[in-house]
Chain A
Amino acid sequence: MTKLLILFVVVVGVLAIAQLARVYELTARLSGKREEDISPADNRMNAMLMWAFCIAYFIFFAWLTWAYWDEMLPLAASEHGVETDWLMNFNWLILLVAFVPTNVLLFYFAGKYKYDKNRRAFWQPHNNTLELIWTVVPAAVLAVLIIYGLNTWHKITSVAGPDALRVELYAKQFDWTARYPGEDGVLGASDFRLINGDNPLGIVTPESVAKRMGELGVEIAEIDSTLAHAILPDEKRHELEKGLELKQRIMARIVNLKVVMEQDLKTMGKESIYNHGADDIVTKDFYLPVHKEVELLIRSRDVIHSVYIPHLRAQMNAVPGMTTSIKMTPTITSDSMRTHVMKDEEFEFILLCNKICGASHYNMQMPLMVTEAGEYDAWLKESRKKPFQGVVEDAPVLPAVTTDTTQVIVPVAAPVVAATH
């Protein structure tokens, strides 16, 4: 009923405007004015508005810059971040030099040269000198920007030093997990097929392979027996068969993995990549020591995510099927951000997801603690003792949309756990 009423109001409104337009047109016709003839008054008004707009435009720009100065580019807390900020400032300077005069000229000319029937426009089809100048000057300026920019880019993307700390960040819908090497200082191998409740990253060790094979074997046997004994509708049976085939193929891959692993263990012995995983630290806490170069090795297990840490000026996508990396050196600890820099006791560096990944994309975050080396070591030591504790497999998933419209309305701000797999 309300919708009908709204529609009615809209229709009546349109009709009213139509009548007004009709009146306007009839008066215009009476005065003999044609629609395409723009009156001197209209030209004057638009010319004035061009100038007014130009002034308002710059005021708006200045106000935004002034009011949000502190928010833009939050303080850089990494070595390369300071450099890219300089590059950014340099770019802004050049852009302002281009932005202000072009706009001033555009609006000034538009307002100044309004139509006058006693005047002719200046006949000027081209001017090769002018055109040459404004091709060459931008080209030269851009050359500077390119060289400066690429120089910085090469520094940022160069290979991390051999002493760099290597930490893995693992993404899934909708949370992050970090993995630190154990005492051997090397991250072990991993395989997504081994992922389960207590091995959220699928770290490959002889034990985890055996365990996963055992579990999978049980699952396959269960489905087998269901298929053999239960009376099922065709649809359900088909679904189970498909699931079974998938599990069997995964099993075959794990068997392959096992063969490869055993050979590697035989030939490489202690050095084998499959020997390094057992002591890896898998954690929901993300700590980095200050002033130490760190290389983040980034992986995802479902869709593309993106590691984005604005304060460290760091961003890199997490792409399933490959490992990406970025390196950085944090320069300010969380503590000094809290007490000295931001003067905000609750301040935290945040790692957030910056590639659309699903319903909870907007809340896929992880705080980052940057600490003094000593504190970091203490934390690492502590973490080694405790096994992985995060709840991984059944993280809250936003409710899939239900078709039942009569249900009680659930406020969206508080996601409700509805579906678990």
Chain B
Amino acid sequence: MGATAHTDGNAHAAHHHHEESFVSKYFFSQDHKMISKQFLVTAIIMAWVAVIMSLIFRLQLAWPEEGFAFSNFFLGDKWAPGGVLNPNMYLALVTIHGTIMVFFVLTGGLSGTFANLLIPLQIGARDMASGFINMLSYWFFFTSSVIMLSSLFVEGGPASGGWTIYPPLSALPQAMPGSGTGMTLWLVSMALFIASSLMGGLNYVVTILNLRTKGMRMTRMPLTMWAILLTAVVGILSFPVLLSAALLLLLDRSLGTSFYLSDIHIAGEALDNMGGSPILFQHLFWFLGHPEVYIVLLPALGITSEIISTNARKPIFGYRAMIGSICAIGFLSFLVWGHHMFITGMNPFLGSVFVFTTLLIAIPSAVKVFNYITTLWRGNIIFTPAMLFSIGLVATFIAGGLTGIILADSALDINVHDTYFVVAHFHIVMGMSAIFGMFAGIYHWFPKMYGKMMNTKMGYVHFWITFICAFGVFFPMHFIGLAGAPRRYYSYSEFRMFDGVVDLNVLITIFAIIGALAQVVFTFNFFYSIFRGPKTVPNPWKSNTLEWTTPVEHMHGNWPGPLPVVHRWPYDYSKPGKAEDWVSQITPLEPGEEEH
């Protein structure tokens, strides 16, 4: 199969390099590199929406009684009269912030950008298996983003039941204003998003399995490829379950079915829904929801594996163990969803099974951390902004991963479930780690995407402020959570028992504001460098992988001549007996040289 793809690919490059119109180049492009840029820019815009939302509700949490022109500027007099955030809008902001960050930035943005950019380039293919489906994947993503954003402008506000949209809250328009049109749009948007994700995922898997160039054995693939492969497989197996959950919810909402509803008396009236179970929704939701955590995290781990090795000028330690742990995490991620439901009334014995499987995941995760640290040991570390973010990822992965052990323990989860402890945990381990991975990827592959260099100094400013603020924001939340403060509370002033910890909310908000300002530096650097950044050389980081053997100027088919042939694994950094401290994958083994 690989060989056929070869000859076809060459013929394609030789005969079909035609000029493209503006529309087919920048809009309906089927070229994986352009699609990846489309995903990235969309994700950056969506991320800003979510960041501004978080600032608005952080202001409310820090100074609950006060009005802010900032909030009023964005929400107007309807939702923030006098700058004081409306409680319904508070819940809406929390909901949409979570939805956008998890799905649109860290799933669509992260996988969409780097899977599309890197798969053909790193395995030596002319393009994705299906360029057309790839293009559709982006346009479904785009449409779903537009619908999600449009839900912000409907009468009752956007969906407000939390990003987990548990029914009956999300199923009954009587329960809250956000469960009206806003919720319907949320479901429609997510359905399109899932379709986009599936089209992308299938393409990724097919391309990686079938279009590897000659010599690119599975065990010679960069770890980014392994991570993306497993991410795509996990996504393909779990997203359809969320789709069915969403469709059943849509039916409950609009056709009067009772999949999730039973025995409900609301707004002064008994409803005649019978036999449904809200718990069913939770099982379906978390059957995706937990693997989703790894869909978000695995690409980031893959990206950093690559960057840490390149910039430590040292092979990634335990390549096979890394592949093994990626596979183990991918497999186990399907067996742990119940740990989100310890206190829903699920059978306690079933709960204990989930405790067991969840804590098992800590083992491959620990192996990854140890391997990263060992890779740094006696390395020769070049601190590019990408490297800084990769090291940052390891730090957040440690801090957030460890608190997961507390949450996985059902007996302990009783008291910290749904408190700020959980918010702290998943923002650090999933939010920060994944976004650090994404930043690392952007700084590292920006030269490949745009042919320009990003400004390093601004990158340093961006990293250090972001890194400090990430801990400044999320670390204190553990303490608020341990004091028992629940998440998704509009204000804590109604409870004396939290008086001792609410001052931390001020600290957190200040860090959040500074952290957000650092993202202005990044955004500026990103767009400025696209247009005005200095031109790059083909292989600025002296990296071994195939993407750096392509010309700087993008071309259809990626390589001007025949596809490169791979002779070695991608991590030959500082190999003894070599003149340089890197050896490209296309360099043949010398006689008698062992691969690794």
Contacts and interface: CB of A to CB of B under 8 A. Distances in A.
The answer to whether A and B assemble together is: yes
Given A106-B391, A302-B265, A350 B497 contact: yes
A413 B81 CA distance: 12
Contact of A102 (B343, B369, B500): B369
A401 B490 contact: no
B487 to A, nearest CB: 8
A8 to B, nearest CB: 14
Given A6-B73, A25-B534, A38-B384, A74 B483 contact: yes
Contacts, number: 422
A315 B343 CA distance: 7
A154 to B, nearest CB: 7
B348 A153 contact: yes
Nearest to A322: B345
Nearest to A102: B398
Contacts of A110: 376, 381, 391
Interface string B330-364: 00000000000001110010011001100110110
Interface stretch (B120-128, B164-172, B294-302, B585-593): B164-172
B87 A412 contact: yes
Contacts of A18: 524, 528, 532
Contact of B312 (A84, A113, A150, A253): A113
A413 B457 CA distance: 45
A81 to B, nearest CB: 8
Given A38-B382, A71-B483, A125-B317, A319 B410 contact: no
- The residue among B82, B89, B419, B486 with the most chain A CB atoms within 10 A of its own CB is B486
Nearest to A88: B412
Interface string A147-179: 001101110110000000000000011000000
B367 A149 contact: no
B380 A356 contact: no
A250 B398 CA distance: 55
A303 B157 CA distance: 19
Nearest to A143: B359
Interface stretch (B200-208, B233-241, B574-582): B574-582
B313 to A, nearest CB: 5
B88 interface: yes
B134 to A, nearest CB: 30
A316 B399 CA distance: 28
B9 interface: no
Contacts of A3: 73
Interface string B458-491: 1010001001100110011001001110101111
A91 B405 contact: yes
A325 B86 CA distance: 34
A122 B458 CA distance: 31
A147 to B, nearest CB: 10
Contacts of B534: 25, 28-29, 34-35
Given A115-B380, A142-B359, A123 B574 contact: yes
Contacts of A61: 475
A150 B363 CA distance: 18
Given A124-B317, A134-B367, A324-B345, A413 B417 contact: no
Contact of A153 (B77, B355, B378, B490): B355
B519 interface: no
A411 B83 CA distance: 10
A42 B455 CA distance: 13
B344 A319 contact: yes
Interface string A360-376: 11110100000000000
A359 B315 CA distance: 53
Interface residues of B, number: 151
B581 to A, nearest CB: 6
B388 interface: yes
Interface in A298-343: 301-304, 306, 308, 310, 313-317, 319-322, 324-325
A42 B383 contact: yes
A253 B262 CA distance: 13
Interface stretch (B48-56, B138-146, B213-221, B267-275): B267-275
A60 B475 contact: yes
Contact of B155 (A98, A134, A403): A403
Contacts of A278: none
A145 B455 contact: no
B504 interface: yes
B494 A68 contact: no
Interface in A38-68: 38, 42-43, 45-47, 49-50, 53, 56-57, 60-61, 64-65, 68
A358 B490 CA distance: 10
Interface stretch (B28-36, B190-198, B318-326): B318-326
A98 B175 contact: no
B315 A356 contact: no
Interface in A109-153: 109-110, 113-116, 119-127, 130-131, 134-135, 138-139, 142, 145-146, 149-150, 152-153
B278 interface: yes
Given A138-B366, A142-B360, A95 B402 contact: yes
Contacts of A109: 373, 376-377, 379
A73 interface: yes
B479 A64 contact: yes
A55 to B, nearest CB: 13
A114 B574 CA distance: 15
Nearest to B391: A110
Chain A contact residues (Cβ within 8 angstroms of B): what range?
A: 35 or more
A355 to B, nearest CB: 6
Given A21-B458, A121-B314, A410-B81, A73 B394 contact: no
A329 to B, nearest CB: 15
Given A29-B534, A110-B376, A352-B495, A302 B320 contact: no
Contacts of A47: 381, 383
B65 interface: yes
A403 to B, nearest CB: 7
- The residue among A49, A361, A402, A421 with the most chain B CB atoms within 10 A of its own CB is A361
A38 B383 contact: yes
B412 A91 contact: yes
Contact of A99 (B399, B490, B491): B399
Contact of B81 (A81, A313, A409): A409
Contacts of B344: 317, 319, 324
A354 interface: yes
- The residue among A114, A142, A246 with the most chain B CB atoms within 10 A of its own CB is A142
A73 B87 CA distance: 28
A138 B363 contact: yes
B23 to A, nearest CB: 29
B574 A135 contact: no
B10 interface: no
B380 A116 contact: yes
A325 to B, nearest CB: 8
B168 A21 contact: no
A98 B402 contact: yes
Contacts of A418: none
Nearest to A36: B540
A405 B76 contact: yes
Contacts of B261: 320-321
Contact of B382 (A6, A73, A115, A412): A115
B156 A99 contact: no
Nearest to A68: B479
A240 interface: no
B571 interface: yes
15 contacts: A24-B457, A34-B540, A103-B398, A109-B379, A120-B576, A131-B321, A135-B321, A149-B355, A253-B272, A302-B266, A317-B345, A321-B276, A352-B495, A361-B489, A421-B269
10 nearest A-B residue pairs (beta carbon): A310-B484, A321-B262, A324-B345, A157-B348, A122-B378, A35-B453, A46-B383, A36-B540, A121-B314, A121-B574
Given A74-B484, A149-B411, A412-B85, 16 more contacts: A68-B500, A84-B411, A88-B406, A113-B378, A113-B379, A115-B383, A121-B378, A138-B362, A146-B356, A303-B168, A320-B278, A322-B345, A354-B418, A355-B418, A361-B488, A361-B489
